[in-house]
Chain A
Amino acid sequence: MKDVLVVGGGVAGIQAALDLAEKGVKVHLVEKTPSIGGRMAQLDKTFPTMDCSICILAPKMADCADHPNITMHTCSELTGLEGEAGKFRATVLKHARHVDASKCTGCGKCTEVCRMKGRIPNEFDFGLRKRGAIYLPFLQAVPRVMNIDEKKCLFLKAGKCGEKQLCKEACERGAIDFDQKDETLALEVGAVIVATGFDLFDPSEMFEYGYGRFPNVRTAMEYERLICASGPTGGHLEVEPTKEHPRSMVFVQCVGARDLRRSPFCCSVCCMYATKEAVLVKEHYPDTECTIFNVDMRALGKGFEEFVERARKEYGVRFVRARPGQITEEPLTKKLAVWYEDPASGKVTSMEADIVVLATALVPGAATAALARTLDIEIDEHMFFKVVDPLMSPVESTRPGVFIAGYCETPKDIPESVAQASGAAARAYEVLVREKGGAANA
């Protein structure tokens, strides 16, 4: 039976890869960053069960690494797809890590000595932590192999790193390989599953909310890292500049989403994650006031409405029906004021806040259009990948043999992404069986 190519190593890609691997199909899992895990790995807890996100995901990530039927290609991207369902020829560009994956144990000695250590904003924590030029993307990264940032490594950039390359000297196993080159892989696959997830809208263009100018205005994804025990502050929320924990927090919903000039669609998860994030504040600091500003509450999954009611009644989270018009900052104390129209009185009111969390839109990745061209599949007006029939064929792309799973198809939460991934895996399997049968008959 032919292999399957899965593009995107987030929870949807992982689920699709594991489903197929368990059926005995060989899977190539292509991920552009140095580790699989995707967005779910960055979250602190999942709603509505408040499970630790990485605790659920990490075993699945490890399964991918260990499974004899799965070959992971990290730091890799799909650059071409020729042929047709059952007999595709995929081209994958594998960027050099400059670390030999067969030798590296992930011990981290190299990271300790890198001259760039602590000077480069790390991607996983949105720059809230700094890394060196050689680094492990995050604690639970899979594969546990170091990666050298070509653009930041002094030696790779300028051919010189002080007297000698300290990382190379520190590595006991001789895993560091500055001569490693990018590789192009040609893969014969029967089907392709695309699960490339989403990017985050950058709210700095919305001047009214002061993101990027006011240090106490954060995005929800930054907040996920800050409240996480393995995050940059060890799970402690700190208000600038006092570093004390917040006494008041405001969550602003639909930032850049349901906005006719930006992303007009609903991201489908923000009502629930904001509720979860407010509950997390209350669990950490019971006396902290939490207010969620939203235009309406969309709690339509299993147990969601009950979760919101619990947040309201048990934890005392306040919900206000308004979109704040402006966030202002007291320049000396960095204290924030959130200006909004009180729906009850119709009067403009300002609410003090130590920290404001913006629920920024989750949008199709910037590379979506280019990937769609490579795959020769269609995208919709919002740049989500199109399925041929959203009702009855919710995983088939516009090219036979190419299937879609997860947020890159349309906004959805983790369980829905996982379900769609399993659906896509099942449909991909059908292609392989059909092809095998056809070949046997011939």
Chain B
Amino acid sequence: MSDQTAGPVEKTKAYYCVECGKCTGICPVSRGLDYSPRRMVKRALEEPELELVRDKQIWNCLTCKLCSGVCPSGVDYIDFIKIVRSRAFASGLSGSCSQGGQLNTLSRMMATEGPTQNRNFWTEGLDIAGKGELMYFVGCLPYFDTVFEDLKPGTLDIAKSTVKILNAAGIRPVVSPAERCCGHDLLWSGDADAYRALARQNIREIKRLGVRTVVTSCAECYRTLSQDYREMGADFEVKHISQLAAELVEQGKLKLAASDRKVTLHDACRLGRHSGVYEQPRDVLRKVASLVEMPRNRISAGCCGVGAFQTCGAHSKRIQMERLAEAGAVAGTLVTECPKCQIHFKCALKDKAVPGTSTPELEIIDLASLLARSLEAGKQ
């Protein structure tokens, strides 16, 4: 694998760095911690043995990709950090997973060939298929509802809503009980081997089912399947539910009930800056609500504060509260495209322990859940 042979500097051409510090100047983490992407790259350039892997700072990056987009030398810092982390992990080092490692453990359990999961327990009353051309890749949604029970993240509702939307458009998606975690969090926390084990199994299963298009309701699954799986030989098409819904509405196959409810959209980094998907979620959102933009939107969108459950601290909380205040200033509802964003924001909203900040009155809901509700409103 190229990650294992090419070092982070060579792979990302970080030797083009001119140490202008533009990355640090835009980095949301750098404003809370003594953290500098430029210094990380400089160390990698100067140290012969990549001593950098021992620096705890490598786990602070949110991989939100703001820096990569503005670097005049075209250095993709998040790719750099991904490789550094995989080197660190290979030397037995890891970040402090903010969920005590339980989510990573779940993913690693799935990386083995067994055990069989009871994955489809939630599909009762929904029209799903065992084989077919279009598959709904559910991801970790059923697990999140349990792990984050105290937050009532409503992640399983996202899965149900996605199938409801597809059913309403006359589509019976394949939902596979043999599906596994996409491996996103393991990939971004350095466990490249376990990620590849997951990817291999998923690609094999998707091919076995005869699937040509995979739909995800998670921005991270979307990025992983559409970009990272491609490097592993995947050739199926991947669509986020917002993209497919926008197409179905356009084709007249999906009818959504309009409302004047004022909402704002938080662009998930994996869907936005990582994949360039900005307009389709907005197109479909405008069909069901009145969309108001936050000052930082699309490519300049703020971050939900945590990446791959690596670190969460005061700086994450500050990033989240800033974003929530920005949303609260323009709308009463914040729509997310990624279940993780929703979990992190709901967590921040619940925790009122940040002195000097006020918590906005805000409902947070996933795009798929909102669309499914407007289906039901349309039926009445």
Contacts and interface: CB of A to CB of B under 8 A. Distances in A.
A159 interface: no
Given A260-B16, A322-B20, A341-B30, A348 B72 contact: no
Given A346-B39, A348-B24, A348-B30, 4 more contacts: A207-B299, A295-B18, A323-B25, A325-B23
**Which residue among B31, B34, B70, B74 has the maximum number of chain A CB atoms within 10 Å of its CB?**
B70
A262 to B, nearest CB: 8
Interface of B: 16, 18, 20-27, 30-31, 34, 36, 38-39, 67, 70, 72-74, 295, 299-300
A250 B132 CA distance: 59
Contact of B25 (A207, A260, A348): A348
A261 interface: yes
A259 B21 contact: no
B300 A254 contact: no
A322 B21 contact: yes
A324 B74 contact: no
A206 B299 CA distance: 10
A326 B26 CA distance: 5
Interface string A323-367: 111100001000000011101001110000000000000000000
Given A208-B26, A341-B36, A348-B31, A260 B74 contact: yes
Contacts of A331: 295
24 contacts: A208-B26, A258-B18, A258-B72, A259-B72, A260-B16, A260-B74, A261-B72, A295-B18, A322-B20, A323-B22, A323-B25, A323-B72, A324-B25, A325-B21, A339-B31, A340-B25, A341-B21, A341-B38, A346-B24, A346-B34, A348-B24, A348-B25, A348-B31, A348-B36
**Which residue among B20, B30, B38, B299 has the maximum number of chain A CB atoms within 10 Å of its CB?**
B20
A322 B299 CA distance: 23
A295 B27 CA distance: 19
A346 B39 CA distance: 8
B21 A343 contact: yes
A325 B22 contact: yes
Contact of B72 (A260, A326, A340, A347): A260
A260 B73 contact: yes
Contact of B27 (A259, A262, A348): A348
A325 B25 contact: yes
Contacts of A208: 26, 70, 300
A261 B204 CA distance: 37
A336 B67 CA distance: 20
Nearest to B75: A260
Contacts, number: 69
Contact of B21 (A207, A254, A260, A340): A340
Given A208-B300, A325-B21, A346 B26 contact: no
B25 A322 contact: yes
A263 to B, nearest CB: 10
Return the 8 tightest CB-CB contacts between A and B, nearest first: A325-B25, A341-B21, A325-B26, A323-B20, A341-B24, A259-B72, A323-B22, A260-B74
Contacts of B72: 254, 258-262, 323
Given A259-B72, A260-B72, A346-B36, A325 B24 contact: yes
Interface of A: 206-208, 254, 258-262, 295, 322-326, 331, 339-341, 343, 346-348
B254 to A, nearest CB: 32
Contacts of B31: 339, 348
A261 B26 contact: no
Contacts of B39: 346
B195 to A, nearest CB: 29
A325 B30 CA distance: 11
B290 to A, nearest CB: 21
B192 to A, nearest CB: 28
Given A295-B20, A325-B24, A261 B300 contact: no
A339 B26 contact: yes
Nearest to B70: A208
**Which residue among B18, B21, B31, B70 has the maximum number of chain A CB atoms within 10 Å of its CB?**
B21
Contacts of A325: 21-27, 67, 70
B243 to A, nearest CB: 23
Contacts of A259: 72
Nearest to B298: A207
Contact of A261 (B18, B25, B34, B74): B74
A80 to B, nearest CB: 40
Nearest to A331: B295
Contacts of B73: 260
Nearest to B34: A347
Contacts of A260: 16, 72-74
A109 B327 CA distance: 53
A343 B31 CA distance: 15
B18 to A, nearest CB: 6
Nearest to B42: A346
A206 B36 contact: no
Given A260-B16, A341-B30, A348-B27, A206 B21 contact: no
**Which residue among A208, A259, A339, A341 has the maximum number of chain B CB atoms within 10 Å of its CB?**
A341
Nearest to B301: A207
B252 to A, nearest CB: 35
Contacts of A339: 25-26, 31
Contacts of B74: 260-261
B21 A323 contact: yes
A325 B299 CA distance: 14
Nearest to B37: A341
A340 B299 CA distance: 19
Nearest to A325: B25
Contacts of A206: 70
Nearest to A348: B30
Contacts of B300: 207-208
A27 to B, nearest CB: 42
B103 to A, nearest CB: 30
A339 B23 CA distance: 10
Contacts of B16: 260
Nearest to B73: A260
Contacts of B23: 325
A207 B301 CA distance: 10
A98 to B, nearest CB: 42
Nearest to A264: B72
A352 to B, nearest CB: 15
A326 B299 contact: no
